[in-house]
Amino acid sequence: MFGMIGAAFQGSWFDRFLSLLALVGLSIPVFWLGEMVNLVSQSRFHEFWLFRWVPPLGYVPLMTSPIGWAKALILPALTLSVSFVGLYSRVLRTDLLTAMQEDSLRTARAKGAGPLRLWFAHALRLSGLSALSLFGLDFAQLLGGGALLTEVVFALPGVGHLTYQGLSTLDLPLIMATVLYAAFFVVIANALIDGLYRLMDPRIGGGSYGR
C-alpha cells in the first residue's frame, strides 16, 4: 500500500516522507527495535493504559488461550514487519513506476481506463512479480527460522531460537538440521512462485510447449 501511494504521488512531499520512513525501517536492526519495544511495553510504561494488555515475554499455545496467543505475537510480528514494510514499499514503488511506462498501460489509458483501473488492474499486476519473489523467499526463510533475533528477544520457542541455542553450544547436528529445514521451505517456495508467475503474467512460461 505504501509503495502504491508513493508511486501515485511521485515527487511530492508525501512520496519523500514515505521514502524516508521506508529507509528508517530498513536501517533499524530488528534486535535493537525489539529491545526498545520490550523496554517500553514491559518495563517503563507497562502500567500505562496503552500497554497494560501486553503479556509477559514468552509464548502462549493457541489451544490453551487463543486470545493470549494473539497478544503474545502482536508486538513480535509488528517488530519483525518494520524492515519488510520498508523493503516491499520501495520495491513496489519502483516496479509500479516502471510498469506505468509499458505499452500496454499506454494503450489502456488511451482506451479510457480510469486511474484506479490503471493502478490496480494493470500496473499492480505487472509489477507484482518482484514483490511476489521477495515475499515467497522471505516467507520461506521465516518458516525455516529466519526470525532468529526476534524469537530470542521476545523469548519465543521457535526454530530460530532453536538455531540460536545450537550456535551457542556449537551443536553441529542441530545446526545442520535447522539449515536443512530452512532449505526445504526455500525450495518449496521457489516452486510455488514459478507456478504463480504464470497466473500473474501469461507471457511467462508460454514458450513452445504448445507447438
The answer to whether the beta carbons of residues 11 and 100 sit under 8 Å apart is no
So what's the pLDDT on residue 114? Answer: 67
Distance CA 152, CA 165 (A): 10
As a three-state string, the secondary structure of 92-127 is HHHHHHHHCCCHHHHHHHHCCCCHHHHHHHHHHHHH
What are the cell numbers at 55? 503479556
Which domains, ranges and CATH numbers included, belong to the chain?
2-200 (1.10.3720)
Q: Which residues contact 200 (CB under 8 A, 6 or more apart)?
A: 125, 128, 129, 132
Query: Could you report the per-residue pLDDT of 110-128, keeping only the tens digit for each?
Result: 766 666 666 666 666 667 6
Confidence grade of residue 203 (pLDDT, cut at 50, 70, 90)? low
Most confident of 24-28, 70-74, 129-133, 188-192: 70-74
So what's the pLDDT on residue 1? Answer: 65
Query: Could you report the per-residue pLDDT of 136-173, keeping only the tens digit for each?
Result: 777 777 776 667 888 888 888 888 888 888 888 888 88
